[in-house]
Amino acid sequence: MDPAILVMCSAFLGVIMLVLGLASAFRKSGESDLEARLSAFTGRSGADRLDVDNTILRDGLTTAQSMLGRMVDRFERLPMFFRQAELPMRLEQFLMICICGMLIVPTGGVLGGLPRASMPILGGVGFGLPWIWLLLRRRRRMKEFEKQMPDAMELLARALRSGHSLASGLNVVATEMPAPIGVEFKAVFEEQNLGLPIDQALRNMQTRVPNMDLQFFVTAVSIQRQAGGDLAEILSKISALIRERFKILGQVKALTGEGRLSGIVLMALPIVLFFTVYALNRDYVMLLFSRSLGKQMMIGAIISQIIGGYVIHRIVSIRV
């Protein structure tokens, strides 16, 4: 088959799948307020509700979506991962977008002048870009939640000192604090307001948000409800502890800044050098794709890049 026809067919198929994926993503996939309240009343966690959405409420927009849905059922932790990233789409829709990227990126690269031998690499890049975006989205939301924790603890402590109950204090935090911490505390307040024990509601939030500071808060509330004590004072100390940890973390980032910058330069230098030599002397670079030794060198370079990036990340990542 003519390579040009193959490229055109891949581009056509990728565009069709992208349109279907986006059309399905913009459909109303979230549950209604009544369904959310009933789910909270029955004691279902966020992961359970997402499992119901992925298994029972799947609309079967296309045959491809149904096939992807059956594949997705094997991944149990991905629904919670999507919940943590606050991504308003189902897993099969996201996988359709990944497949579209896997088809469109190599097609665009070949049309842009890159060698056809690079299509597998470009396909992997196109499939991985949505996942990288998802990881960054989840990481940004978790970081924002972590930054809001000290203010939320202080606000809850002041609410308790002014005479509010714990449930009312949770409502104050949900009302006054912005997302994402306001959204999570609102879910806790609604769950306990509909009959779920507050300890279980807090543990559900801890499952949705894997944060060490939040674990301190949930543990402190559980112990205080069993043994008694001044919860407002405990929350004030937790807030002070979190602020001190942020201070130490800032110092650590300043000390490891040179190592992180060196890692970025070392990871980006081979890629920039490759495209620079490709623009200056294309025939010289094509030896890497036309000869078996060149292909082995490319595979070795990619593996070395991954190992080097992991080692540098482990060196400069100091947990506080």
Dump pLDDT digits (tens) for 156-210: 999 999 888 888 999 999 999 998 999 999 999 999 988 888 889 999 998 889 8
| Same-domain pairing of 273 and 189 | no
Nearest by Cα to 54 from 74, 79, 33, 20: 79
Tokens of 57: 């409420």
Residue that is last in its domain, among 182, 215, 243: 243
Helices (H), the chain: 3-25, 33-41, 46-55, 63-72, 78-85, 91-111, 119-161, 166-176, 181-193, 198-208, 212-227, 231-255, 257-280, 282-290, 292-316
159's CB contacts (< 8 A; 6+ apart) are 168, 169, 172, 173
| Same-domain pairing of 114 and 28 | yes
| Same-domain pairing of 134 and 158 | no
Q: Which amino acid is at 24?
A: S
Distances (CA, A) of 317 to 140, 251, 263: 17, 13, 12
From CA 259, how far away is CA 115, in angstroms rounded?
A: 35
What pLDDT score does 230 carry?
A: 87
pLDDT in tens, 210-244: 888 899 899 988 888 888 888 899 999 999 989 99
| Same-domain pairing of 28 and 129 | yes
Low-confidence ranges of the chain (pLDDT < 50): 1, 4, 7, 23, 25-34, 36, 40-62
| Same-domain pairing of 161 and 281 | no
Q: What are phi and psi of 87, to 5 degrees?
A: -100, 115
> What's the residue count for the chain?
320
| Same-domain pairing of 234 and 263 | no
Total number of domains in the chain? 3
From CA 79, how far away is CA 88, in angstroms rounded?
A: 11
User: What residue numbers bound the domain in which 146 lies?
Assistant: 142-243
What pLDDT score does 289 carry?
A: 81
From CA 32, how far away is CA 91, in angstroms rounded?
A: 19
| Same-domain pairing of 207 and 101 | no
| Same-domain pairing of 25 and 117 | yes
